[in-house]
Amino acid sequence: MKIVDDKALLLTLRNPAKVTSVIPKSRELANNQVLVNWGLEETQVLRNMNINAPSPIESKYTWTGKYPPFDHQKITSSFFTLNRKAFCFNEQGTGKTASAIWASDYLMKQGVIRRVLVVCPLSIMDSAWRNDLFSFAMHRKVDVAYGAKAKRTKIIEGDAEYVIINYDGVEIVADAVANGGFDLIIVDEATHYKNPQTKRWKTMNKLVGPSTWLWMMTGTPAAQSPTDAYGIAKLVNPNGVPRFFGSFRDQVMRKVTNFKWVPKEDATNTVHRVLQPAIRFTKDECLDLPPMVYTKREVPLTRQQAKYYKELKNKMIMSAAGEQISAANAAVNMNKLLQISSGAVYTDEGDALEFDISPRYKVLREVIDESSKKVLVFVPFKHTIDLLTTKLREDNITTEIIRGDVSAGKRTEIFKRFQEADDPRVLVIQPQSAAHGVTLTAANTVVWWAPTSSLETYAQANARVHRSGQDHKCTVVQLQGSHAEKRVYALLDNRIDIHTKMIDLYKEILD
């Protein structure tokens, strides 16, 4: 096979007449060669004939955006363009969002689709999808359908080529979405559709017609059980699974007692078969990826948090009026804003005022479920560590704590088990307690529940997973909800020592 130009392929076949009979304007040449028009339709026909023709995107598309694609991203984009309904199981941190953007932009330019609906977690609507669309398809009009029903509806009925919406938002405006002219639906973190009995799944199933393009993306398609594959397979490949869940469960699970089922020996092969067509790259297969990938997850403050955050900020503005702000006072006040954002703030009397951490915890669970290995969660504040650890253990996620009041001997024992045994899966760590000298390469995902104010502590804490012995590429995830958190992370990302900029940072946040 040879690419003649961006319009034609030259094939050498045993029976070239077979191709010329089904592809218009193709020409049979000497020596069993045939010249074929090279477009999406022709490529699909060739692939249906088991001729592995490349997608035209590889030659006809100008890869837009701030950054050039990696090789695995080009392959993933090509795969998307050739499959109306498909799975992308590329591992977290491999850039599958950008691959889907390039592929959909190409289909738009070809006139195959006109409009895209992106369905994703609330935490990544802005930090991942809107930002990536601006980075890789800045020529497209993008909007986020979030808020009251009327606001969402107005955005969906608008002229944005890409509309981003969270899972529950689709149910709220399902009728508007159905009439919104969306040719392609991209579902990020598709495991949220694993249960066909939910209203969420049934709503999506009604939206996906025979001609609708549907790309479902997740790095962990069946993380908890082989049965998790059923719901997403039924959306993409309904003919590949039984009509009823019970029949599929019998294919992949064996009943041990009335209340216990275990996976069958061939369950993995069955899951692989039904989750097709699919593509998967692990971070370690992507040789051109940087060794450490940094991502952000948006976590809006609860009403209670927002109320106290605003009250404290107003008090700080009043006390700062006409007075000289010292770095020490700025650091103390900044710390209180970060504590509120994190989940618990200490009063002047030393008591802890707790907030609902469920929204932030939900996002953390998403990250843990996506991770292929163990996870480190850095939490700067002691009381929040207790709140978080309790929730993790209630969800049966094996978790240990490392902080100042854990003895040296106990720490050594925990680190050893973390590195050598199956459990614990998660370490919740106060950053200063494990920022130096400790090897924790059993994890390849680091989550910052809230930012630290020390650049050195931040860099050293991340280095616990990225050191000798690490055989996987690593991801650092920053959870952020308040303006204070976002500004501190921005300084850390730019390797600026927060303490040298504390007064400027404090004034900026008050303004």
pLDDT in tens, 404-441: 888 878 988 998 899 999 999 999 999 988 756 688 98
Q: Is the pLDDT of residue 49 over 60?
A: yes
- Residue 374 and residue 425 in contact, taking contact as beta carbons nearer than 8 Å: yes
Q: Are 182 and 172 in contact (CB under 8 A)?
A: no
Q: How far apart are CA 61 and CA 105, in angstroms?
A: 9
Torsion-angle region of residue 50: left (phi > 0), alpha (psi -120 to 50) or beta? left
Least confident range from 155-164, 172-181, 407-416: namely 407-416
Residue-level pLDDT at 290: 64
pLDDT at position 200 is 96
Mean of pLDDT values over 295-311: 92
Peptide bond before residue 68 is cis, with ω within 30 degrees of 0:
no
What share of residues in the chain are helix, strand, coil (percent, to 5)? 45, 20, 35
**CA pair distance 295, 456, nearest whole angstrom:** 19
Give me the numbers of helices (H) and strands (E) for the chain, helices first please: 21, 21
The mean pLDDT value of the chain amounts to 89
CB-neighbour burial class of residue 57 (10 A; exposed 0-12, middle 13-18, buried 19+):
buried
CA proximity to 378, closest of 342, 424, 414: 342
Angle subtended at Cα 328 by Cα 322 and Cα 331, rounded to the nearest 5 degrees: 95
At residue 304 the predicted structure's pLDDT band, cuts being 50, 70 and 90, is very high
* pLDDT for position 2: 79
Read off the pLDDT band of 322 (50, 70, 90): low
- Can you tell me whether residue 506 is helix, strand or coil? helix
SS3 166: strand
Instruction: Report residue 217: phi and psi, to 5°.
Output: -125, 135
Look at the block and give the residue holding tokens 């609902």: 356
What CA–CA distance (Å, rounded) separates 78 from 231?
A: 25
Closest among 195, 143, 188 to 167, alpha carbons compared: 188
Beta-carbon contacts of 488 under 8 Å, excluding residues fewer than 6 positions away, are 334, 338, 451, 453, 498, 505
Q: Where do we find the tokens 């951490």?
A: 357
d(CA 53, CA 56): 9
Pairing relationship of beta strands 260-263 and 253-257 according to DSSP bridges: antiparallel
Q: How far apart are CA 210 and CA 232, in angstroms?
A: 16
What's the Cα-to-Cα distance from 315 to each of 268, 343, 346, rounded to whole Å?
58, 20, 16
Spell out the residues 6+ positions from residue 266 whose beta carbon is closer than 8 angstroms to its own: none
pLDDT given at position 472: 78
Tell which phi-psi region holds residue 207, choosing left (phi > 0), alpha (psi between -120 and 50) or beta: alpha
Query: Is residue 292 a contact partner of residue 474, using CB atoms and an 8 Å limit?
Result: yes
For 498, the token pair is 């927060």
Instruction: State what percent of residues in the chain have pLDDT above 70.
Output: 97
Based on the number of CB atoms within 10 Å of its own CB, is 450 exposed (0-12), middle (13-18) or buried (19 or more)?
buried
Q: Does residue 360 carry a pLDDT above 90?
A: yes
Closest CA to 186 of 292, 96, 276, 269: 96
Q: Provide the whole-model pTM.
A: 0.72
- Quote the CA–CA distance of 315 and 325 in Å, as a whole number: 14
Q: Compute the residue count for the chain.
A: 511
